[in-house]
């Protein structure tokens, strides 16, 4: 049976759940933004989200974003596009031109490349530092014990506009300790933004301080 996806209804439901989770945690719902993760979704599926008023979207590949978003931006100039996938240093220039936030700054070489390209383009793109909270060998992100020094390098030496932190907890593990660790690192470095929580666990992330939740499946349905 074909899955019938009503993106506008999904967004309304997720937005209501975000608000409920925020209130349950004694927080103002306006403190938590929904990033609609549109990776692999065609423009026809994204369009209803735009019509419903959604403006913040997440993509994980530079090339895919480059193909999909410039035409959509012509009609919706206030789109807020975030990169949430790994970034190769040789694509830093394109990423700076294309995205409004880069959530996956995770190593010194990339941080240097981004600082250089922002300087060259005269465009400052907000950044999040990705932390590999589970210290998984195959996963991107700075290790928790290296995070403070890396944040200082990005902020003090490179003057990158670092707004906060992002993490993807290990699959199949209880995510709470990872969200709590991310919040702790953000607090001691005085960073306001916490991008954490996906379709399966965003209410927990909100209870632990998320300021942005990245929801793909919950908004657009399952990816092909």
Ligand X SMILES: *Cc1c(COP(=O)(O)O)cnc(C)c1O
Q: Given the rule CB under 6 A, which residues bind ligand X?
A: 37, 39, 60, 84-85, 168, 198-200, 214-218
Instruction: Give the Cβ contact number of residue 91 at 10 Å.
Output: 19
Closer residue to ligand X, CB minimum distance, 158 or 220:
220
CB of 202 to ligand X, least distance (A): 8
Closer residue to ligand X, CB minimum distance, 154 or 198:
198
Q: How far apart are CA 94 and CA 67, in angstroms?
A: 12
CB of 197 to ligand X, least distance (A): 8
CB of 159 to ligand X, least distance (A): 26
Q: How far apart are CA 6 and CA 15, in angstroms?
A: 14
Q: How far apart are CA 165 and CA 182, in angstroms?
A: 7
Angle, CA of 27, 50 and 46, to the nearest 5°: 110
Among residues 115, 190, 193, which one has the least CA distance to residue 148? 190
Which residue has the closest beta carbon to ligand X? Answer: 216
Instruction: Characterise 88 by phi-psi region: left (phi > 0), alpha (psi -120 to 50), beta (else).
Output: beta
Closer residue to ligand X, CB minimum distance, 153 or 199:
199
CB of 136 to ligand X, least distance (A): 14
Please provide residue 165's backbone torsions phi and psi, each rounded to the nearest 5 degrees: -130, 160
Element (DSSP H or E) covering residue 69 = helix 62-75
DSSP letters spanning 87-110: --GGGHHHHHHH-SEEEEE-SHHH
CA distance readout (Å), 138 to 52, 106, 143: 37, 13, 12
Closer residue to ligand X, CB minimum distance, 23 or 223:
223
Closer residue to ligand X, CB minimum distance, 151 or 215:
215
CB of 71 to ligand X, least distance (A): 22
Closer residue to ligand X, CB minimum distance, 65 or 158:
65
CB of 219 to ligand X, least distance (A): 8
């Amino acid at each position: 049976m074909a899955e019938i996806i009503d993106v506008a209804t999904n967004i309304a439901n997720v937005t209501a759940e975000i608000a409920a989770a925020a209130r349950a945690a004694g927080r103002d719902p306006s403190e938590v933004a929904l990033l609609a993760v549109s990776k692999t979704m065609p423009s026809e599926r994204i369009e209803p989200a735009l019509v419903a008023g959604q403006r913040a979207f997440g993509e994980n590949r530079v090339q895919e974003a480059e193909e999909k978003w410039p035409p959509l931006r012509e009609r919706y100039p206030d789109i807020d596009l975030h990169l949430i996938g790994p970034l190769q240093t040789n694509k830093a220039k394109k990423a700076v031109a294309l995205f409004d936030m880069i959530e996956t700054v995770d190593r010194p070489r990339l941080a240097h490349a981004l600082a250089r390209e922002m300087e060259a383009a005269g465009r400052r793109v907000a950044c999040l530092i990705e932390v590999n909270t589970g210290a998984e060998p195959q996963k991107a992100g700075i290790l928790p014990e290296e995070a403070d020094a890396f944040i200082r390098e990005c902020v003090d030496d490179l003057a990158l506009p670092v707004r906060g932190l992002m993490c993807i907890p290990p699959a199949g593990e209880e995510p709470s300790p990872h969200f709590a660790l991310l919040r702790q690192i953000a607090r001691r470095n005085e960073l306001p933004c916490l991008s954490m929580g996906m379709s399966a666990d965003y209410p927990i992330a909100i209870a632990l301080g998320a300021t942005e939740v990245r929801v793909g499946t919950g908004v657009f349905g399952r990816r092909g």
